Amino acid sequence: MGVPNKLNVYISSETGSSKVNQSILLFLTHRVMVSAPYQKNGSGGICRCTQDSTNCTDCYTPQETDTIKYIGLSMAAQSTSPMFTACSPSLAHECDGNSYLNSICYQFNSQLQITSNFTPAFQGITAKLEHIVDNIT
């Protein structure tokens, strides 16, 4: 049995009225990915760190105009490209006056730049309400 090249750790603690949740993804290549899904008013963020340094650099933080919440709540890594995936359980989008919540995942290359995204179980509009009502009557 080989040694895994990554380890995912989830940390949760409460201090007073604030709750701190972080997920840490360790690579055997001395890199550490740390997510703070509740930082910046719930939009979240992901930082890249090296094991021999106390400094981390932001890898990804949603823009203030994005409707993404809690990015990095779920993370995964693999040895082939894309190297790293981080997901948000809460991508809000509007359609015909209705609000929908779906998840969105971002895939990163070895330089930790976003290469693509996907929306598992995306819920869109398949028919307008008046068409449904017309078909019932």
Q: List, for residues 31-71, the tens digit of each pLDDT value.
A: 778 888 877 777 788 888 777 777 777 677 777 777 778 88
How much is the pLDDT for 6? Answer: 47
Of 45 and 3, the structure prediction assigns the larger pLDDT to: 45
Of 104 and 98, the structure prediction assigns the larger pLDDT to: 104
Alpha carbon distance 10, 47 (integer Å)? 15
Give the best-scoring range by mean pLDDT among 15-24, 53-62, 123-132: 53-62
Alpha carbon distance 73, 119 (integer Å)? 15
The reply to whether the predicted model has a pTM over 0.75 is no
Give yes or no for residue 135 having a pLDDT over 70.
no
Mean pLDDT of 78-104: 80
- CA gyration radius, the chain: 18
How much is the pLDDT for 18? Answer: 44
Task: Look up residue 11 and give its two tokens.
Answer: 């940390």
